[in-house]
Amino acid sequence: GPGPGQDEVRHADGRVGEVRALIDTALAYPQPKTGVPGVVVDMLGVGLWPGRLMVTAAREFRAHGFDEAAEENLKRAVDWYTTQPPPHGSVETHRFELARVLYDARNWSVAEEMFRSLATDDPRNFIYLGFLGKIAARRGDTTAARQVLAQFDSIKPTLARPHAIAGYWQSKISALLGDEARAMR
């Protein structure tokens, strides 16, 4: 459909500025990790919240048709993740979040390289496999995408919730391949 109207663009420009200011504040005043009584295991990646804020903003801007603002926030997120040291004990989470930002930024080659590396280090992590399938589908590599679909078929019997886990990723990949019937199934 048509893009945003004149009034919407003016309003969004103001909102883009507000979001930029919020992110600038997040970067200037990073929140320290706080100990929460009763929580034994530290939440992985708590120190990554400024990057997560940038990605959330980018996704919202993109969803509402403001691609320029989305790209600006994704670029900031990539820059932030590539210059920020991983929080203590969160190296894999940091790598995953950078790979996901690169995916959102549509930098398929580098995102694929990172997800392959993550999958090599943790071959049982179906999220990495799912992203590799989505990247293959987006790049038009139907053979690789269908191989990932088949891999999910083979691991389904080992999953506690096969439809919620494998089915989710198979649906996403199938939709990207244009196979609506399989995506719905």
From first to last of its 185 residues, the chain has per-residue pLDDT tens of 555 555 554 455 567 767 666 665 666 565 544 444 444 344 455 667 788 888 988 998 899 898 999 999 999 999 999 998 887 778 898 999 999 999 999 999 999 999 999 999 999 899 999 999 999 999 999 999 999 999 999 999 998 888 888 999 999 999 999 999 999 98
Residue type (1 letter), 51: G
DSSP string of 121-164, one letter each residue: H-TT-HHHHHHHHHHHHHTT-HHHHHHHHHHHHHHGGG-SSHHH
